[in-house]
Structure 1
């Protein structure tokens, strides 16, 4: 009688990020014989961050953002371990999982994302939160919006950081507050640099117009010195009223990555080569926001994680089967779609900018 193939190799995917979700989906269609796949993630779902502004604005239900990792793992024939990774030892080839001990691997990949907490800013930990992790933000926002609508708290919001994420979330929260609370809502967008997001003047102008349309107060060249329960103090001494403050300024690597014996940048991101391999380790890969592509540094953006997925899959297959890996060359420019609060969006690429409701429909379809 036919005997089943033995499970001779262990492939461990650490984190349920966008690239790993794609790998699992494609793996299900063409698995590698003799390989056991394990996915490690803190929860049974992983949020798709591109739809976060739409949820905050009220266009999507919270569950619409979630990738069902249980269903995806089952489809791919993978086991799912629910727990947070706390250490990777590339020499011992082990992953330490909180409450579960060590998980061994033959080949592994990291796709754990980032967070936007600002622990070094006085008062941030006590009185604010990062937009990532997404679950905490969405839960706290739901409670705040309900309380503000009921008149239990002042409808005052501040966003620290006016990159694309900060602008999108400021507009999304402004849309929801104007709808549910009215003109009493106060929204502030605070940027330490000289200007808000935008790779060209037209984009910046359109984003500023959208912010002005919602009555968002924009502060530039405004470093934050302290966050308090009822406001944000700027370095010049001015206090911006806020009882719901979020941080979007910069991408922060998870501390445990730098605490593991891994090659990392000064700010804690895993250094990978052109084949997405962790430097010095042929059997360990890293993708998405947690990785720093030494051959082609790029800003943190979900598009790179998504585009790297097929290359990662090919390279995992190659290492598992003795094949040849291939390089990933990230695009230098990409289509940037920015939500504008209401069901309207802005698109920017190749130095050109357009906006309107049709762009929202396009973004919605892509998401």
Structure 2
């Protein structure tokens, strides 16, 4: 027996990637608590920093400069990252209900989801107005508007902004700055743009001192932004040609093409019905410890929380300052220690950007008029905050500054873990998980060919093979490359089934093998269920039920499937079927290996990995059917040996040569940039041996796509040869099926006298 680190005994789940939780993740990465598994659930892999958002809209900051990369941050914190939307809470059973995945269990929960503008009471607002939150949706519409203006600079454009608080004012000024710049660059008059700002109160920025209100009104008037004060919007109605009408209670009607909604903050419906103690608006009531007033195991921070004893405005400055006390109290709660009290400051400094690289400074009754120096000060503060998440400390520096804590969570388990069959997941846990999984795959009940499956306690599964068909079998198994067992289960299933699809076979059943990290029994059950549920989601789509398998405990999550399939002898695809005159089609882009190698070093951008995960979640089943329908004679799936390694196997088996178009090979976003930094997968050096088969490798080694030929792929695409006459209709069908990167990457030629691969270095 061998001694291992403390198993997982507690699950801390963070809902939302707000400012407070970003700080909590960073601090957990620097001061981890042994025995605690941290999970972040958020709809997006990055989160905007509110302090820089107006500057981004004005065109002063790029998207990356004003967004925190949550994938990178979660990886640093060794946290699970679930990209999903929360739609409910089951507080009795400590479950979080998500939109697109199984329920998630928690022992301790923290909520930092910000707020959304209140639009429900105004007819037409939810349907036709663009809410300021969630920010990703706002930015999506904003980017579309920028593109529209850039391509049609002569259009008369009218924009309505409802809400005259700080958010609405900064949005109006920032939008005007950016749109005016586009018009000037195209030598068009800025009078083509009209911005209307609607405010229910008589004054703008009602929470601020009158000196600020006066300054802002002067600036807006000088900038020719149309102010509609003491005007309550009561209705939004569609008109002709994408035009909308804003109707006010006074009878005022303004016509606009776009309307942005930046009004009083509200909460999502699921939180109002969760059963937590909330204020009249639905915000979570928290004590001075940031604990829920009604549920001590639940914490909340940022805009979504209301401190009972210290109510404050919904402002990002409070969310930032709540980060550290939230982290400290989460750890103290887990360790059974008394919690610290947090009291927010009464007054705080506000730096309000005016959209022209100037800012107003105000604190209480003290106000400084807009100035470039104040903007530079604000810019310095904002960039300094973001730098904490861009340049995360190295682990060796963390160990020196924050040694491993003496405090550990109590655990009933022995620190000694058995090997051999003693390392299996317990029978009771397995029985409960498989009972849940059987409910998720009803297809198994109607399969007469499955003689013995999950519903029987026998030692092995038994299936009947029909006469006249061939049994096709394959197996794959590997460590997790993503910190989400449900998504990893889907990726693994896609990867393993691809061998069946590449052979022209139909999958019929699978066996699973899983290694689950050491944990308390309930945590092992949760991980195994999430993993198998993800796999079964893919298997159901392929009509290939899970009929058995094996489990074991280990230091890290790993998973694989042994897949069975059936094929008719005359439909079987092999690597040896390539013929001169055919073309090569690749169904997916390459680059997953290099991107996840970069993630291990903390150098991959979150949106790069988003594209990689999206590719790996795309099944090759529809592609295989399409290729067969268009006369494919040879096929393989591109996996661990890389594109060139698998192509060489086809070339040698078929006794042909290939001209490969380097520039045509589809590459995942970020993979080329990563390769140029010298970051590669650990399997890359061995895969490079395939370069000996390239006739002109010395002439093309400098091409940016060249290193990606040897990049090992997980759940990669299919590589097939089809008649050239079928290429155009085949590509059109594949793209319609969702294979956006699919393309012809080469052609098959007669056998070569020397090396069989020639790389064509032309665009």
TM-score interval, normalised by the smaller of the two chains? over 0.9
Greater Cα radius of gyration, structure 1 or 2 = 2
Q: How does 1:256-275 map to 2 (within 5 A)?
A: 256-275=270-289
Instruction: Give the secondary-structure state (helix, strand or coil) at the position aligned to 2:360.
Output: strand
Among 246, 251, 261, which residue is 1:232 paired with? Answer: 246
CA distance in 2, matches of 1:243, 1:18: 33
Which structure 1 segments of 5+ residues have no match?
Answer: none
Tell me the TM-score normalised to structure 2 length.
0.47
Deviation at 1:145, TM superposition (A): 2.7
Q: Is the 8 A contact 2:155 2:192 kept in 1?
A: no
Instruction: Give the secondary-structure state (helix, strand or coil) at the position aligned to 1:197.
Output: coil
Q: Is the 8 A contact 1:25 1:75 kept in 2?
A: yes
Q: Is the 8 A contact 1:117 1:129 kept in 2?
A: no
Q: Is the 8 A contact 1:117 1:132 kept in 2?
A: no
Deviation at 1:218, TM superposition (A): 0.9
Q: Is the 8 A contact 2:89 2:274 kept in 1?
A: yes
The equivalent residue for 2:303 is 289
Instruction: Give the secondary-structure state (helix, strand or coil) at the position aligned to 1:101.
Output: coil
Q: Is the 8 A contact 1:148 1:154 kept in 2?
A: no
Aligned: 1:253 with 2:255: no
Q: How does 1:46-195 map to 2 (within 5 A)?
A: 46-149=47-150, 150-151=152-153, 153-181=155-183, 182-195=190-203
CA distance in 2, matches of 1:37, 1:230: 46
Q: Is the 8 A contact 1:11 1:37 kept in 2?
A: yes
Deviation at 1:267, TM superposition (A): 1.6
The equivalent residue for 2:45 is 44
CA distance in 2, matches of 1:152, 1:144: 14
Among 294, 312, 315, which residue is 2:326 paired with? Answer: 312
Q: Is the 8 A contact 2:276 2:294 kept in 1?
A: no
Q: Is the 8 A contact 1:232 1:240 kept in 2?
A: yes
CA distance in 1, matches of 2:297, 2:155: 52
Which structure 2 segments of 5+ residues have no match?
Answer: 184-189, 238-242, 383-763
Deviation at 1:151, TM superposition (A): 4.0
Instruction: Give the secondary-structure state (helix, strand or coil) at the position aligned to 1:119.
Output: coil
Q: Is the 8 A contact 1:168 1:339 kept in 2?
A: yes
Deviation at 1:290, TM superposition (A): 0.8
Aligned length: 367
Among 195, 213, 217, which residue is 2:222 paired with? Answer: 213
CA distance in 2, matches of 1:175, 1:205: 21
Q: What do the CA deviations read for 1:306-332 (whole angstroms, capped 9, x no partner)? A: 111111111101111111101111111
Instruction: Give the secondary-structure state (helix, strand or coil) at the position aligned to 1:277.
Output: coil
CA distance in 2, matches of 1:152, 1:183: 10
Q: Is the 8 A contact 1:15 1:112 kept in 2?
A: yes
**Greater RCO between the two (CA within 8 Å, min separation 6)?**
1
Further displaced range: 145-154 or 196-205: 145-154
Deviation at 1:117, TM superposition (A): 5.0
Q: Is the 8 A contact 1:189 1:218 kept in 2?
A: yes
Deviation at 1:180, TM superposition (A): 2.3
Aligned: 1:7 with 2:20: no
Q: What do the CA deviations read for 1:83-116 (whole angstroms, capped 9, x no partner)? A: 1111123332111122212111111101111111
CA distance in 1, matches of 2:251, 2:63: 38
More helix by share: 2
Instruction: Give the secondary-structure state (helix, strand or coil) at the position aligned to 2:221.
Output: helix
CA distance in 1, matches of 2:149, 2:244: 14
Q: What do the CA deviations read for 1:50-85 (whole angstroms, capped 9, x no partner)? A: 211111111112232221111101101111111111
CA distance in 1, matches of 2:356, 2:309: 39
CA distance in 1, matches of 2:115, 2:235: 23
Deviation at 1:292, TM superposition (A): 1.4
Q: Is the 8 A contact 1:155 1:177 kept in 2?
A: no
RMSD value, Cα: 1.5
Deviation at 1:16, TM superposition (A): 0.7
The equivalent residue for 1:300 is 314
Instruction: Give the secondary-structure state (helix, strand or coil) at the position aligned to 2:192.
Output: coil
